[in-house]
């Protein structure tokens, strides 16, 4: 069993009294005040001096230098100035817990092997900025979620690329259209200038290098007059047949007064001629040949077929009936349905009534209606009333056809 350690006495030669206890905070502040900003390198003879004997007494031993002093060097001490001693102490603000000297390393004790302190002067700690593609963020995702994110990112990239491509294509198309319109306008202006020069040459005298016509009307009458070169006349006729309607519409649009004058003086006359021709065609269509039997007439009769034939031989009259009978333009778009079929039956009946008013022999439609009424049990008086209206033949005529 080892002997207990002997308590040092005042009579011992190596006895040193215990220094008074100081607060840890005061000791740290004293170190910070009396240390320099950078450590000093040890002198060349500091180690030798530390281990060499300073006195002739070989029995006396010097204390071993501090390890920090051996590595860093001796720390210079600063004598307090008289001014600082005379100046009364100032009351400073209360230090925060993060600014306590215990957490601030001393420059004398810090080395290059230690990590840089996060807060050297106190204050709020640095906040870590989240990275866009941090490994920590991606590691918390499952493989399915990661694949979904990648696929959505690819889809978004593809959509953006397609949008940009379409935008560029639209801009290029618009630019090409603008250039084409500009070229077309320039070409029209050039042709207009050439046409003006040509018209000026037509009315210019031959002595001055022109065609020598007195006016443009003189030139038009000359090229449309019959006779002369057959090939040139055929070319003019073919041109008027192909573009005559457009020429007339251009004249009416350019000078509306001419259109009104034409309709007032010439249109009625031309319309009468056209309607007379179509009325004659309807009369011939509804007149049967001599010796035609009533049975053959009944077998060949069809209201739908008769309507198509009337529309073909009298297009102007049929169009007038449609325009007069239809109050709104939207109804004209009807191509099928019961309403359209009923209107065709009305127009067919109207044309048949007009034909019998021209000739009593053009009564194919009325004979068929009379036979239907007789077979349906209609009275003689009813048939006579319909015969006066032009919808049927008289009772006596139907009786004669039966015999």
- pLDDT category, 33, cuts 50, 70, 90? low
Largest separation between any pair of C-alpha atoms in the chain? 180
Q: Percent of the chain at pLDDT above 70? A: 62
Whether 151 has a pLDDT exceeding 70, the answer reads yes
Counts of helices then strands in the chain (DSSP H, E)? 17, 0
Tell me the mean pLDDT in the region 201-223. Answer: 88
Whether 237 has a pLDDT exceeding 70, the answer reads yes
- Give the residue with greater pLDDT, 229 vs 336: 229
- pLDDT category, 279, cuts 50, 70, 90? very high
Whether 78 has a pLDDT exceeding 90, the answer reads no
H/E stretch holding 299: helix 294-300
Residue 229 has a pLDDT of 84
Could you read off the pLDDT of 41-57 as tens digits, one per residue?
444 444 444 444 444 44
Residue 84 has a pLDDT of 45
Tell me the mean pLDDT in the region 338-359. Answer: 83
Residue 313 has a pLDDT of 92
Distance CA 194, CA 243 (A): 22
Residue 17 has a pLDDT of 64
Q: Where do the H-state alpha helices sit in 263-337?
A: 268-285, 294-300, 303-313, 315-325
Tokens of 34: 């009396």
- pLDDT category, 35, cuts 50, 70, 90? low
CB–CB of 363/393 below 8 Å?
yes
DSSP 169-231: HHHHHHHHHHHHHHHHHHHHHHHHHHHHHHHHHHTS-GGGTS---SSHHHHHHHHHSSSS-HH
Whether 343 has a pLDDT exceeding 60, the answer reads yes
Distance CA 38, CA 204 (A): 111
Degrees, nearest 5: CA angle 205-210-211: 90
Whether 7 has a pLDDT exceeding 60, the answer reads yes
What mean pLDDT, rounded, does the chain reach? Answer: 75
Residue 61 has a pLDDT of 46
Whether 171 has a pLDDT exceeding 90, the answer reads yes
Distance CA 164, CA 276 (A): 67
Q: Report the predicted TM-score, pTM, of the whole model to 2 decimal places.
A: 0.41
- What's the Cα-to-Cα distance from 39 to each of 43, 64, 68, 111, rounded to whole Å? 12, 20, 11, 9
Provide the 10 A C-beta neighbour count for residue 212.
15
Whether 81 has a pLDDT exceeding 70, the answer reads no
Residue 64 has a pLDDT of 47
Tell me the mean pLDDT in the region 305-312. Answer: 90
Among the ranges given (205-209, 295-299, 337-341), the one the predictor scored with the smallest mean pLDDT: 337-341
- pLDDT category, 166, cuts 50, 70, 90? very high
- pLDDT category, 136, cuts 50, 70, 90? low
Distance CA 305, CA 364 (A): 14
- Give the residue with greater pLDDT, 151 vs 17: 151
Residue 175 has a pLDDT of 95
Distance CA 162, CA 168 (A): 10
Q: Which residues touch 210 (CB under 8 Å, ≥6 apart)?
A: 200, 201, 202, 203, 204
State the first-to-last Cα distance of the chain, in angstroms, to the nearest integer.
Answer: 166
Residue 266 is given by DSSP the state I
Tokens of 96: 């925060």
Residue 2 has a pLDDT of 60
Q: Is 320 exposed, middle or buried (0-12, 13-18, 19+ CB in 10 A)?
A: middle
Provide the 10 A C-beta neighbour count for residue 86.
7
Backbone φ and ψ of 168, nearest 5°: -65, -40
Distance CA 393, CA 369 (A): 8
CB–CB of 211/202 below 8 Å?
yes
CB–CB of 29/22 below 8 Å?
no
Residue 191 has a pLDDT of 93
Whether 140 has a pLDDT exceeding 70, the answer reads yes
* CA atoms within a 13 Å half-sphere pointing along the CA-CB vector of 57: 4
Tokens of 268: 């009625």
Residue 4 has a pLDDT of 66
Q: Rounded to 5, what percent of the chain is helix, strand, coil?
A: 60, 0, 40
Distance CA 5, CA 23 (A): 28
Q: Percent of the chain at pLDDT above 90? A: 19
Among the ranges given (73-77, 161-165, 340-344, 346-350), the one the predictor scored with the smallest mean pLDDT: 73-77
């Amino acid at each position: 069993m080892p002997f207990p350690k002997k308590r040092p006495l005042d009579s011992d030669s190596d006895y040193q009294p215990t220094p008074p206890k100081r607060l840890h905070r005061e000791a740290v502040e004293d170190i910070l005040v009396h240390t320099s900003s950078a450590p000093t390198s040890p002198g060349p003879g500091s180690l030798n001096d530390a281990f060499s004997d300073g006195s002739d007494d070989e029995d006396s031993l010097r204390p071993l230098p501090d390890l920090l002093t051996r590595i860093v060097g001796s720390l210079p001490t600063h004598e307090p100035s008289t001014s600082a001693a005379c100046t009364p102490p100032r009351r400073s603000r209360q230090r925060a817990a993060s600014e306590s000297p215990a957490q601030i390393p001393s420059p004398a004790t810090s080395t290059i092997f230690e990590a840089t302190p996060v807060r050297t002067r106190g204050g709020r700690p640095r906040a870590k900025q989240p990275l866009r593609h941090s490994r920590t963020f991606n590691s918390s995702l499952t493989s399915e979620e990661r694949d979904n994110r990648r696929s959505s990112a690819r889809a978004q990239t593809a959509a953006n690329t397609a949008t940009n491509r379409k935008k560029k294509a639209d801009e290029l198309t618009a630019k090409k259209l603008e250039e084409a319109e500009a070229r077309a306008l320039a070409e029209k202006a050039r042709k207009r200038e050439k046409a003006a020069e040509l018209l000026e040459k037509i009315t210019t005298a031959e002595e001055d290098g022109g065609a020598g016509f007195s006016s443009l009307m003189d030139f038009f009458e000359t090229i449309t007059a019959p006779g002369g070169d057959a090939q040139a006349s055929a070319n003019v006729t073919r041109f008027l047949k192909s573009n005559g309607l457009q020429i007339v519409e251009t004249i009416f649009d350019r000078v509306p007064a001419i259109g009104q004058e034409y309709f007032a003086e010439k249109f009625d006359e031309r319309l009468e001629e056209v309607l007379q021709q179509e009325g004659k065609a309807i009369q011939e269509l509804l007149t049967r040949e001599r010796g035609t039997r009533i049975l053959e007439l009944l077998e060949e009769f069809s209201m739908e077929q008769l309507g198509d034939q009337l529309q073909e031989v009298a297009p102007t009259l049929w169009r007038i009936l449609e325009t007069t009978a239809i109050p709104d333009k939207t109804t004209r778009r009807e191509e099928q349905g019961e309403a359209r079929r009923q209107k065709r039956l009305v127009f067919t009946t109207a044309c048949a009534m007009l034909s019998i008013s021209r000739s009593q022999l053009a009564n194919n439609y009325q004979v068929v209606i009379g036979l239907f009424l007789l077979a349906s049990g209609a009275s003689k008086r009813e048939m006579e009333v319909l015969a006066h209206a032009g919808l049927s033949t008289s009772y006596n005529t139907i009786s004669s056809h039966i015999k």
